[in-house]
A and B are shown apart, each in its own frame.
Chain A
Amino acid sequence: MKIAGRAVCVPADVDTDLIIAGRYLRTRDRSLWAAHAFEDLDRTLAGRLAGAVVVAGPNFGCGSSREQAAIALREAGVKAVVAPSFARIFYRNAINLGLPIAEAALECAEGEMVEVDLEAGFARSGDRPPVRVSPLSSRMRAILAAGGLVELLKDSP
């Protein structure tokens, strides 16, 4: 799986409250989550997420188990999230929803082209040398390849 997009940089320890605030969670309108993504971090971010690769500091997605955080990013058109480490519930949620995740310590320059190659196991930002992406487990790869856990369960007997 190869992904490319413009970098949107966010800091370390971005919790899921910052990705989508609790006040927006109860709704049938999923576009609301994309529209308010990262609102409490930076109100301008949501408008820049379509086609972007979010490049984050360590411990991205810590805190609440709210899956709306991963849904918000996917619905906003985020192509992948790259961070040196992820909180485990967000990590599972993202893979389960088919949102690619790459564990890599990537230098981030806002708006720069980022490439992620999950098969080859590297990520690159701009002209800088590629950095290694921690391999996904075979289970995670299978879920991602199916397009998410729902698709995988639908396809298996």
Chain B
Amino acid sequence: MATLAERILGAPAGTCVDRAIDRAYAMDGTGVLALHTFRQIGRPLAKPGRLRLIFDHIVPANNSETAGLQAELRRFADENCIALRDIGEGICHQLMSEGDVLPGEIVIGADSHTCTLGAFGAFATGVGATDMAAIWATGELWLRVPETINLRLTGRLEGGAEAKDLALAYVARLGMDGGTYRALEFTGEGVASLSMAGRLTCSNLAIEVGAKAGLFYADDITRAYLAGFGVAASPQLIEDADYARAYDFDLGAVEPLVAVPHRVDSARPVERVAGTPIDQIFVGTCTNGRLEDLERFASAVKGRRVRVRTIVIPASRRVLADAIRSGALASLVEAGCTIGPPGCGPCLGTHLGVIGEGEVCLSTANRNFRNRMGVGGEIYLASVGTAAASALAGEITAPGGAA
């Protein structure tokens, strides 16, 4: 029987297929390169209605060179009727998750974390700028249908554990290249206990094991979530499938984890690194910048003061507006957090909270590569709850462990 990836791509694993792309998006960085390459190809746009340009990586522009590159991309979008989501709208994957991706679609993004959208039961994968330019020119892309690794989830998350901890746990178990060229498929009765936000977090880290995609079958939670954006969707039937490998995860046994520098697959229990001094906390990104995340952090710090500089960046304008309405934003600001404009923030080391030589950042993002957030800095990856407890304690602290 077919895996979800095989069903969506319509061919068995190992086959090379050319497929029309339902949704294709590039961001301010890869968009610039894709435009350069698209002009070299010299063809007209194939299906502009299916394309999106989303400014999120360096927003607002950090210098005049970046501003000039963004202006060029803005003109191109304007002249060619491509939907542009400009600065302040949010992170590309988050915006696509707000009602722009449906179960069963083929979604290609010029950003590695496009796998996030597999949470909807779509086949979503990241490519480089030349592949994106090829989609602009032809409407299609060639893909090799991947074999699939099954992650079977049982039970439900307990105590202070979050979907992020499950994600760090599976990355540690598979390793940084344990899923290379494969798709991940999350199944089992444990899936029903994960919210859409939690599923998006799990799919988001699929690329950190090298996987091409990280898929959940659409169910009633998916349908209800998309209905909230006025979009109708149907659940996908789960069939027995031939998996390359399978791993079991008992959600009840997942504990709060921290991935230590400089590998994403280096997760260990928070207790093992408790007390590590930190200079900065960053809450946000396509991994953990959703309303659920901001509200969790806000409820933990409400009425108290953070003891380490803390940057909170909502994943989208909608998340920001919702956090204002719910009161979460006021709690964050009053607790001493610094709020950044919706976007990627300091995650990729260009602005808005880059760390200095020898500094340590506890981040809710997805990558702790050497020097990524600033030369000579160190990044620890953790959940929102661990970030909140650590912000209150001023050092790495397990959720529930802050004085």
Residues of A whose CB lies within 8 Å of any CB of B are 13, 15, 17-18, 21-23, 25-28, 40, 58-59, 62-68, 70, 85, 87-89, 92-93, 96-97, 137, 139, 148-150, 153-154
Mark B203-237 against chain A: 1 for CB-CB distance below 8 A, else 0: 00001001010000000000000000000000000
Contact among A62, A70, A153 for B43, CB-based, below 8 A: A153
A154 and B42 form a contact (CB under 8 A): yes
Residues of B with C-beta under 8 A to A96: 128, 130-131, 134
CA distance in complex: A142, B239 (Å)? 37
Query: Please, which residue of chain B has its CB at the minimum distance from the CB of A88?
Result: B181
Taken together as a complex, chains A and B put the C-alpha atoms of A76 and B69 apart, in Å, by: 23
Q: Are A40 and B370 in contact (CB under 8 A)?
A: yes
B98-127 contacts to A, CB under 8 A, are 110-112, 126-127
What band does the interface of chain B fall in when counting residues whose beta carbon is under 8 Å from A?
35 or more
CB distance from A13 to the nearest CB of B (A): 6
Residues of A within 8 Å of B29, CB to CB, are 25-26, 66
Residues of B within 8 A of A92 (CB): 127-128, 131
Number of A-B contacts (CB under 8 A): 120
Determine the distance from Cα of A22 to Cα of B375 in the docked complex, in whole angstroms. Answer: 11
Contact B16 A22 (CB under 8 A): no
Q: Which residues of A contact B371 (CB under 8 A)?
A: 17-18, 21, 40
Q: Which of B69, B128, B349 contacts A89 (CB 8 A)?
A: B128
Min Cβ gap B361→A in Å is 14
Candidates B63, B69, B144, B212; contact of A137 at CB < 8 Å = B144
* A148: contacting residue among B42, B65, B130, B144, CB under 8 A: B130
A85 pairs with B180, CB closer than 8 A: yes
Contacts of A18 in B (CB 8 A): 369-371
Q: List 19 A-B contacts (CB under 8 A).
A: A17-B371, A18-B371, A23-B349, A25-B350, A26-B29, A26-B63, A26-B66, A26-B350, A59-B176, A62-B176, A66-B128, A87-B210, A89-B126, A92-B131, A137-B16, A139-B16, A150-B41, A150-B133, A154-B42
Contact status A13-B176, CB under 8 Å = yes
Which residues of the partner chain A approach B138 to less than 8 Å between Cβ atoms? 153
A153 to B129 Cα, complex, angstroms: 15
Report B30-80 residues with CB < 8 Å from chain A CB. 30, 32-33, 37, 40-43, 58, 63, 65-66, 69
Q: Does B199 sit at the interface, judged by CB under 8 A?
A: no
* B30 contacts A67, C-beta separation under 8 Å: yes
Residues of chain A lying within 8 A (CB to CB) of residue B111: 64-65
The answer to whether B65 touches A89 (Cβ under 8 A) is no
Min Cβ gap A57→B in Å is: 10
A95–B129 CA distance with the chains assembled, in angstroms: 12
A132 to B13, CA, bound (A): 24
Closest residue of B by beta carbon distance from A98: B130
Does B158 count as interface, using CB distance less than 8 angstroms?
no
Given contacts A17-B369, A65-B112, A150-B37, 5 further A-B contacts (CB under 8 A): A23-B350, A26-B32, A93-B131, A96-B131, A150-B133
Contacts of B369 in A (CB 8 A): 15, 17-18, 63
Contacts of B263 in A (CB 8 A): 13
Closest to B34 in A: A67
Q: Is B372 an interface residue (CB 8 A)?
A: yes
Give the residues in chain B near A58, CB-CB below 8 Å: 177
Chain A residue at minimal CB-CB distance from B366: A63
Contacts of A27 in B (CB 8 A): 65
- Any chain A CB within 8 A of the CB of B23? no
Cβ 8 A contact of B372, one of A22, A28, A89: A22
CA distance A82 to B65 in the complex (A): 35
Known: A13-B263, A21-B349. A65 touches B126 (CB 8 A): yes
